[in-house]
């Protein structure tokens, strides 16, 4: 749907474009600027990140498109879940489906089951090998204990392995040493009813720190759901973390958590008798737990060894199927300096995962139980060509998957820092998405119908055990500049080439007697039949206007060309604009606002793709600290529209409306 020239979203887009042009012109010229007082942007550019190179390095020296959501962003946004926090990231497309599901993607292929985004929480992968994506309603945490969310837009497979195709989300929590004392937080509103979090940390023995926490919430389903409460969501999570520093150069971390909760959804199944569909409200009793142990030993400023192991087990319902999975993962990483100009990072790992997928008529798997071994190794060499000016990084990940075989995922990155305030980088890389269990072993009965006098007809989707991994060849070019101590601009352009992307291919109809009655099956098979390209640009700006006012803005443009299936093209917005404002007022008041514009898309509904209009969203929040350790806040979200759709579900033709919400929150630290 085309935007009207006077549409608010279009006007915002045009004004934002003028602002970007001005910033680009003044930044490239590097004209002398007045020095400002207080905190400057250079401190943010020198902030350390770890996701780009698996070692701490300044943000300004990262030869990749990376963005950091820090604790200030988390606190001031008013968001209460990890998926909603990803709205803050430039270029990240976050669309809410209902009260407990999201469709999240980066640089295209945005979908309810987006399978090209790797997500990790404290080094533990939460990417599901069953469908190739993330159960977002199982990823919850006490947000006050998060240190940061680092997001790589684009491939990160050389370091992080398969499925890190279009991006990597790396969620990192604070150490136990940083969370000493107590914290109690509670929120209540039109969606929250209520949320309560409790955490306490202390020192068990000299240099042995701990924290333990509990979080529970009950969130109501959205207005416009098929039935009241159909998509309710509640969860209780408990956990602990212990950090031991036996010496100044060693750290041992052990953390564990357990959760259980209830997730509701409206589901439309398939039958072989009229009316050939069943509508029902399902409730899933989900649970899970994990234990992570990590040893870090620093031998010198240029040499460090890390060994990490984790065990994860969960049960998750989705539609009318239940996945039960156990995973054990072991990884070693070593960093050292070879000579004067070569910094080597290498590592190896193995993963074992076992699942059970209880069959239903709607969705079944052959076999119902499966196990998988994955072995990996990687090496990366950061070569200093000109000290403090030019670096070249070359590396590759090598992986053997018993279902997908052996493959390599190399990358080459060049970083040039002509001045202390500028950096220019370029990269070329290859990434692989391994076929999930759904691609290989599934049968999904999608629809049924019957003509008068004929047997019923069943349309079924079948996996193919011989499908190949999807591949990406990506090329990026980036530029970062700090115009003065108050303003920074981060610009990235990218071109991606995709091959062997999954699609469906029709087969020869056949007759089937089981289950009764006898029916004709029209099969569709998974095939590596789609190829194409995407290209675009992303701009992020941070501007401290005054000592008491800070702006963070971004614009992203995406273009996709896929053949022969163009479905994914229409599901991704071409334009996104994001603008946040942080204002500090006298009396310890803070006013926090955010404006989001998302271009028009399409979404699945009634076995076809229907248009979704562009969205202009405005959030506003006020926080007040009447005394040290006590904060009160109130936020309104989606204030411009009482309700609007963002994305539909493949499991129902009902399109939920995302409502305007109001939430109050109180946090006490002691």
Tens of pLDDT, residue by residue over 381-412, are: 999 999 999 999 999 999 999 889 999 999 99
Instruction: For 535-548, give one letter per residue: b (16+ CB within 10 A) or e.
Output: bbbbbbbbbbeeee
Residue 26 has pLDDT above 60, yes or no: no
Q: 223 pLDDT band (50/70/90 cuts)? A: low
Percentage of residues in the chain with pLDDT exceeding 70?
Answer: 92
Can you give the pLDDT at residue 229?
A: 63
Can you give the pLDDT at residue 201?
A: 97
Q: Which residue has the tokens 């071109």?
A: 495
Q: 38 pLDDT band (50/70/90 cuts)? A: very low
Can you give the pLDDT at residue 354?
A: 97
359, 351 Cβ separation under 8 angstroms: no
Q: 19 pLDDT band (50/70/90 cuts)? A: very low
Give the contacts of 15 (CB within 8 A, at least 6 positions apart). none
pLDDT by residue (tens digit) across 338-348? 999 999 999 99
Can you give the pLDDT at residue 222?
A: 81
Query: What is the spatial distance between Cα 150 and Cα 119, in angstroms, rounded to a whole number?
Result: 10
Query: What is the spatial distance between Cα 209 and Cα 491, in angstroms, rounded to a whole number?
Result: 41
pLDDT by residue (tens digit) across 69-90? 999 999 999 999 999 999 999 9
Can you give the pLDDT at residue 527?
A: 94
Region of 100 please: left (phi>0), alpha (psi -120 to 50) or beta.
alpha
Q: Please tell me whether the peptide bond between 275 and the residue prior to it is cis, using omega within 30 degrees of 0.
A: yes
Can you give the pLDDT at residue 237?
A: 98
Can you give the pLDDT at residue 5?
A: 35
- Angle (CA) 639 648 148, round 5°: 60
Task: Please provide the average confidence, as pLDDT, over all residues in the chain.
Answer: 90
Can you give the pLDDT at residue 45?
A: 53
Higher-scoring residue by pLDDT: 602, 554? 554
pLDDT by residue (tens digit) across 522-553? 999 999 999 999 999 999 999 999 999 999 99
Q: Which residue has the tokens 């919850």?
A: 140
Instruction: Return the bridge partners of 101, or none.
Output: none
Q: 228 pLDDT band (50/70/90 cuts)? A: low
* Residue 61 DSSP code: G
Can you give the pLDDT at residue 21?
A: 35
Instruction: Return the bridge partners of 62, or none.
Output: none
Q: Is 588 helix (H, G, I), strand (E, B) or coil?
A: coil
The residue-averaged pLDDT of 143-170 equals 95
Residue 143 has pLDDT above 80, yes or no: yes
What tokens appear for 300 in the block? 């010198």
Residue ranges of domains in the chain, CATH in brackets: 15-669 (2.40.170.20)
Can you give the pLDDT at residue 59?
A: 80
Give the contacts of 106 (CB within 8 A, at least 6 positions apart). 91, 92, 93, 116, 117, 151, 153, 154, 166, 167
Q: 49 pLDDT band (50/70/90 cuts)? A: confident
Give the contacts of 25 (CB within 8 A, at least 6 positions apart). none
* Residue 129 DSSP code: T
The residue-averaged pLDDT of 591-611 equals 87
Q: Is 18 helix (H, G, I), strand (E, B) or coil?
A: helix
643, 657 Cβ separation under 8 angstroms: yes
Characterize the bridge pairing of strands 124-125 and 277-300. unpaired
The secondary element (H helix, E strand) that includes residue 29 is helix 8-29
The secondary element (H helix, E strand) that includes residue 317 is strand 303-318
Query: What is the spatial distance between Cα 113 and Cα 125, in angstroms, rounded to a whole number?
Result: 16
Query: What is the spatial distance between Cα 510 and Cα 520, in angstroms, rounded to a whole number?
Result: 6
Can you give the pLDDT at residue 60?
A: 79
**Secondary-structure breakdown of the chain: helix, strand, coil percentages, each rounded to the nearest 5:** 10, 60, 30
Least confident of 170-174, 304-308, 322-326, 646-650: 646-650
Residue 17 has pLDDT above 70, yes or no: no
Task: Name the residue among 589, 576, 581 with its Cα closest to residue 539.
Answer: 576
Query: What is the spatial distance between Cα 121 and Cα 142, in angstroms, rounded to a whole number?
Result: 13
Query: What is the spatial distance between Cα 167 and Cα 66, in angstroms, rounded to a whole number?
Result: 9
pLDDT by residue (tens digit) across 90-137? 999 999 999 999 999 999 988 888 899 999 999 999 999 999 999 999
Percentage of residues in the chain with pLDDT exceeding 90?
Answer: 79
Can you give the pLDDT at residue 633?
A: 97
Q: 568 pLDDT band (50/70/90 cuts)? A: confident
Task: Name the residue among 12, 1, 5 with its Cα closest to residue 617.
Answer: 12
Residue 25 has pLDDT above 50, yes or no: no
Q: 281 pLDDT band (50/70/90 cuts)? A: confident
Q: Model's pTM, two decimal places?
A: 0.90
Can you give the pLDDT at residue 22?
A: 35
């Amino acid at each position: 749907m085309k935007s009207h020239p006077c549409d608010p979203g279009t006007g915002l887009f045009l004004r934002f474009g003028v602002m970007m042009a001005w910033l680009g012109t003044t930044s490239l010229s590097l004209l002398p600027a007045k020095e400002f007082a207080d905190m400057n942007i250079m401190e943010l550019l020198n902030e350390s990140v770890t996701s780009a190179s698996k070692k701490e390095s300044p943000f300004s020296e990262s030869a990749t498109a990376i963005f950091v959501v820090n604790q200030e962003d988390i606190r001031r946004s008013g968001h209460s879940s990890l998926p909603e926090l990803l709205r803050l990231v430039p270029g990240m497309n976050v669309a809410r489906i209902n009260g407990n599901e999201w469709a999240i993607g980066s640089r295209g292929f945005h979908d309810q089951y987006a399978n090209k985004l790797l997500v990790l929480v404290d080094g533990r992968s939460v990417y599901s090998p069953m469908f190739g994506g993330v159960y977002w309603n199982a990823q919850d945490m006490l947000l006050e204990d998060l240190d940061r969310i680092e997001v790589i837009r684009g491939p990160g497979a050389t370091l992080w392995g398969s499925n890190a195709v279009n991006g990597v989300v790396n969620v990192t929590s604070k150490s136990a040493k940083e969370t000493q004392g107590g914290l109690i937080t509670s929120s209540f509103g039109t969606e929250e009813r209520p949320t309560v979090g409790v955490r306490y940390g202390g020192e068990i023995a000299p240099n042995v720190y701990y924290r333990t926490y509990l979080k529970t919430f009950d969130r109501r389903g959205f207005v416009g759901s098929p039935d009241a409460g159909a998509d309710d969501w509640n969860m209780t999570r408990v956990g602990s973390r212990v950090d031991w520093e036996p010496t100044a150069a060693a750290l041992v971390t052990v953390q564990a958590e357990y959760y259980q909760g209830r997730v509701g959804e409206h589901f439309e199944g398939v039958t072989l008798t009229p009316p050939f569909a069943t509508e029902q409200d399902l409730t899933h009793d989900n649970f899970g737990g994990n234990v992570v142990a990590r040893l870090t030993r620093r031998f010198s400023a240029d040499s460090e060894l890390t060994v990490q192991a984790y065990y994860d087990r969960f049960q998750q319902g989705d539609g009318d199927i239940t996945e039960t999975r156990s995973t054990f993962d072991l990884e070693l990483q070593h960093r050292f300096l070879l000579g004067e100009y070569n910094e080597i990072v290498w590592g190896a790992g193995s993963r074992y995962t076992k699942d059970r997928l209880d069959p239903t008529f709607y969705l079944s798997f052959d076999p119902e139980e499966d196990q998988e071994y994955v072995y990996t190794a990687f090496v990366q060499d950061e070569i200093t060509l000109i000290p403090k000016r030019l670096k070249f990084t070359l590396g590759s990940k090598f992986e053997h998957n018993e279902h997908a075989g052996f493959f390599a995922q190399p990358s080459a990155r060049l970083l040039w820092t002509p001045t202390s305030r500028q950096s220019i980088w370029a990269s070329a890389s290859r990434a692989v998405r391994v076929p999930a269990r759904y691609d290989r072993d599934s049968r999904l009965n999608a629809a049924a119908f019957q003509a008068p006098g004929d047997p019923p007809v069943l349309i079924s989707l079948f996996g193919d055990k011989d499908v190949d991994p999807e591949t990406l060849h990506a090329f990026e070019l980036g530029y970062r500049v700090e115009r003065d101590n108050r303003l920074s601009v981060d610009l990235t352009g990218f071109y991606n080439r995709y091959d062997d992307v999954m699609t469906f291919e029709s087969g020869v109809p056949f007759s089937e007697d089981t289950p009764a009655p006898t029916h004709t099956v029209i099969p569709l098979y998974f095939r590596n039949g789609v190829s194409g390209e995407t290209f675009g640009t992303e701009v992020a700006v941070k501007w401290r206007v005054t000592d008491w006012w800070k702006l963070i803005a971004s614009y992203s443009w995406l273009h996709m060309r896929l053949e022969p299936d163009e479905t994914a093209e229409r599901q991704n917005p071409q334009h996104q604009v994001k603008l946040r404002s942080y204002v500090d007022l006298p009396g310890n008041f803070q006013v926090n606002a955010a404006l989001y514009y998302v271009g028009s898309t399409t979404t699945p509904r009634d076995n076809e793709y229907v248009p979704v209009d562009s969205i202009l969203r405005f959030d506003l929040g006020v926080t007040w600290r009447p005394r040290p350790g006590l904060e009160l806040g109130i936020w309104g979200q989606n204030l411009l529209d009482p309700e609007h759709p963002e994305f539909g579900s493949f499991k129902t033709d009902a399109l939920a409306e995302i409502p305007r919400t109001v939430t109050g929150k109180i946090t006490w630290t002691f």
